[in-house]
Structure 1
Amino acid sequence: MKIDIHAAPEKPAGWAPLALGFRPFFLLAAWFAMLFMATSLGGFVTGIWHYNYFDLSLWHAHEMLFGFAVAVVAGFLLTAVRNWTGLPTPTGWPLALLVLLWLIPRLVSAVPMPPLLFALFDMLFLPTLAIVLFRNLQKAKQPHNYSVPALLLLLAASNLGIHLDLLGQLEESTAPMLHLGVLTLVAIIVLMAGRVLPFFIGKTTGAQTGSSKSIEKLALPSILAFTALNLLLPLPAIIAIAAITVALLHALRMQHWYTAAIWKEPMLWVLYIGYGWIIAGFLFYAGALLLDLGVVHAVHAWTIGAVSMFTLGMMARVSLGHTGRPVRALPWMPAAFGLMVVAACVRVIAPLMYPDWLERAVEISATCWIIAFLIFTIRYSMLLLRPRLDGKPG
């Protein structure tokens, strides 16, 4: 019997939503991203918001960090740590319980419940995830990867600081703790990018990539040092100089990774541009301090440009590779990546140039975000729910 080796593989039978950590967390992150942004946009446009624990602005900021972004980080790390250590991470019912620790606070964040109870629920997930990953790293004797659970605990500390302020136990800690959370997520992306982006670029394009050892040694510490300086010694001139220094360091890092072939591959340029928004964020931060402007533009450069764009690109790539599919952009995904570029540019740059356009910029940016994640959910939902094409576990 003649076999056509070029025939498309059959669609896998059955379901596998809990086969590996990236599956439920990426799926829920994408759906949550759409619903979260649509609800936020509706609240901002109509002025209607049923206040419970958070006001609308704080709910938007908190859930962007500890809802959407943390879910993507969890899905990636549960998958990556299994690869690094060769040890299993939670699957099946243990993974389902971990997912519930993330999901329950998202569902109840805008409904009436005792504030202390909500705060306790919301603070369970990150420490639990850190412990799960640390145990694997410890068993595999990989102390060089201990920065991963340490960063998760730093995120947990920023969440704790926000809750302590809202519960009346720590005055005026919400703003600095939100900044701590954002910068910790930036640090996680810096760590992830150093592990995967040169490899992805080299594998796809054949180019020689990789920065100098000195730059790599300074990449993560530079973010952490800036974060500590910003919290402990908030002198505008010093912080501005530090921000510019960090931006230059990471621009050099990006330059070492660069090849023109990146722009031919959507699965590469989405990550490369996402990393570039980290640099832009530090430059906006420095400019805001030197010109006595608000740092909100820098924060959105980091959250929409860096965190959201990089995580969207990583979800698209990891979901393909770990379900046994070729790693190439699915139909409409380049448009989704482009919409995230528009969302970031409009939200960050337009209000700087035309302050009266702020409301319109928010609406356009949020709409682009929603459509981008709608495309992802349409293209990837069934892929994340079905078993691997090659029949392997995961």
Structure 2
Amino acid sequence: MISLKTADHPLWLCGFRPFFLAAAFSLILLIPLWLFFLGAPFGLALPLPQVPGGATIWHAHELLFGFVLAALAGFVLTAVPEFTLAPPVPPAQVRLLAGLWLLGRLGFWCAGLLGKPALAIAGLAHLGLVAGLLVLLAPRIWHAPARRHLSFIWAMLGLILCIGGFYLDALRDGDVARWLHAMVGLMMIFIVLALSRISMRIVNQAIDEWRERHPAAADADADAEPTEYRARPPKRNLAISCIAAYTVAEFFLPESRLSGWLALAAAAALLHLHSDWHIGRALLRRWPLMLFGVYVLMAAGYALIGIALVSGGDGFSAGRHMLTIGAMGLAIYCVFNIAGRIHCGHPMDERPWVPVGAALLVLAAGLRAAEILPDANVLGLYQLAAFALVLPYAVWLWRMWPLLTRPRQDGLGGCDDYVEKT
């Protein structure tokens, strides 16, 4: 039996393997704990770990520093070497980073019992994780041809700022929520950066497949049906700039009308970004449609936030959850299913459970946002949203566990793409 401590264990073949599993496990644990804390289901009310800021901060922190940070680490450890044509990160360093993520979880959960020393350990572990990613990946990005991926360095530096600010304020009993809000904005920027690269490959592949399967229609609509998808930098940079402007305004002027107008500007910029997706009927194929859905949910989230802040009405929390449960949850699900399969040496899964899971995530965001409706059964909506959020990741874990914990069957290296046999 091969030990988890050795580099030979399949779990350490590529950086995404332990981190994608950790992310899925953390979400599947986190959401039911939150429901039981709220008193549902079965009328049970369980206590959560005592942390600075209370239960709501614990909930948001674990979503972002647990689930999202693990998913992000797995993605960059795999994608950056691929994008830059550089060697993969060695297994020993991946194990160290995974250990820092786990130490961060334990330290934060024990903050109520052990006090500020545990909180300091959690902060150092999280900072060590992201700083480690930066040290390992920045040289690969810097030395790549044309340095086309420098934005990942700036995103990781922003992440270090958010983590350091959160724990510094937590140790001195300051306002920690603002750093979590800033991290949501930073994750939206990171999603735009990452999906623009993933979409170039996935969407163009879908266009080629559609034209191959419908040659007569493709020839008849040669002028109407695009032959190539391009994620244009000006539109992407405009969306990123507007999201960044709203995030900064929210940090310094929370829930202000200025923040509201900037949120509406972010929504408009994201809708403008949608024009890159005029790719004809290939958009209706599962993978392009799922990726496009991320941008739709992101635009809807900022629109709800902006309308709420400008009008003074409800909808701010609904918009926030449209960003987190919706855009963030669906983006990570897409990456798990795309990168997880092809870097395990398998083609992407074409079975029905994948789009059904994506639809459930969209439903979860809608249910969570429906709390603003008159006479809404808020607790009931929370229960349904939680079920719709957890189920797709539970099914993904069940389907992918054998692939992520066993050796590749195609004879290729740990992070190599799937290569179709001819």
**TM-score, scaled relative to structure 1:** 0.89
The alignment of Structure 1 onto Structure 2 pairs a total of residues equal to: 378
Distance 1:21 1:92 in 2: 8
* Percent identical residues: 26
1:214 partnered with 2:234? yes
**TM-score, scaled relative to structure 2:** 0.83
1:138 partnered with 2:139? no
2:364–2:384 contact (8 Å) kept in structure 1:
yes
- The answer to which structure, 1 or 2, has the higher relative contact order (CA under 8 A, 6+ apart) is 1
Alignment match, 2:224: none
Kindly tell me: are residues 317 and 365 of structure 1, through their superposed partners in 2, closer, same or farther at Cα, counting changes over 3 Å?
Answer: same
Structure 2 stretches of 5 or more lacking a match? 1-7, 209-226, 415-422
Larger deviation: 382-391 or 118-127? Answer: 118-127
Q: Residues 53-68 of structure 1: matches in 2 within 5 Å?
A: 53-54=51-52, 55-68=54-67
Alignment match, 1:113: 114
Larger deviation: 101-110 or 26-35? Answer: 101-110
Task: Give, in angstroms, the shift of residue 242 of structure 1.
Answer: 2.0
Structure 1 stretches of 5 or more lacking a match? 1-13
Alignment match, 2:153: 149
Task: Give, in angstroms, the shift of residue 50 of structure 1.
Answer: 4.2
Kindly tell me: are residues 237 and 108 of structure 1, through their superposed partners in 2, closer, same or farther at Cα, counting changes over 3 Å?
Answer: closer
Alignment match, 1:177: 179
Task: Give, in angstroms, the shift of residue 295 of structure 1.
Answer: 2.1
Of 306, 328, 344, the match for 1:323 = 344
Kindly tell me: are residues 209 and 141 of structure 1, through their superposed partners in 2, closer, same or farther at Cα, counting changes over 3 Å?
Answer: closer
Task: Give, in angstroms, the shift of residue 129 of structure 1.
Answer: 1.4
1:53–1:109 contact (8 Å) kept in structure 2:
yes
Q: Which amino acid aligns with 2:396?
A: F
Q: Which amino acid aligns with 2:123?
A: A
Distance 1:282 1:24 in 2: 32
2:300–2:319 contact (8 Å) kept in structure 1:
yes
1:130–1:152 contact (8 Å) kept in structure 2:
yes
Cα-to-partner distance string for 1:195-253 (whole Å, 9 max, x where unaligned): 12143112112342225553134232232233223334558333222222221221121
Task: Give, in angstroms, the shift of residue 85 of structure 1.
Answer: 1.8
Q: Output the aligned Cα RMSD.
A: 2.2
Q: Which amino acid aligns with 1:47?
A: A
Task: Give, in angstroms, the shift of residue 80 of structure 1.
Answer: 1.1
Alignment match, 1:204: 206
Alignment match, 1:289: 309
Larger deviation: 103-112 or 129-138? Answer: 103-112
Distance 2:231 2:352 in 1: 33
Distance 2:280 2:38 in 1: 41
Task: Give, in angstroms, the shift of residue 57 of structure 1.
Answer: 1.3
Of 21, 38, 44, the match for 1:44 = 38
Cα-to-partner distance string for 1:255-309 (whole Å, 9 max, x where unaligned): 2214453564333322221221110111011111022236221211110000111
Alignment match, 1:34: 28
Alignment match, 1:382: 402
1:322–1:388 contact (8 Å) kept in structure 2:
no
Distance 1:203 1:159 in 2: 37
- Please state whether the residue corresponding to 1:273 is helix, strand or coil: helix
- Please state whether the residue corresponding to 2:408 is helix, strand or coil: coil
Distance 1:153 1:356 in 2: 41
Task: Give, in angstroms, the shift of residue 48 of structure 1.
Answer: 2.5
Distance 2:92 2:232 in 1: 43
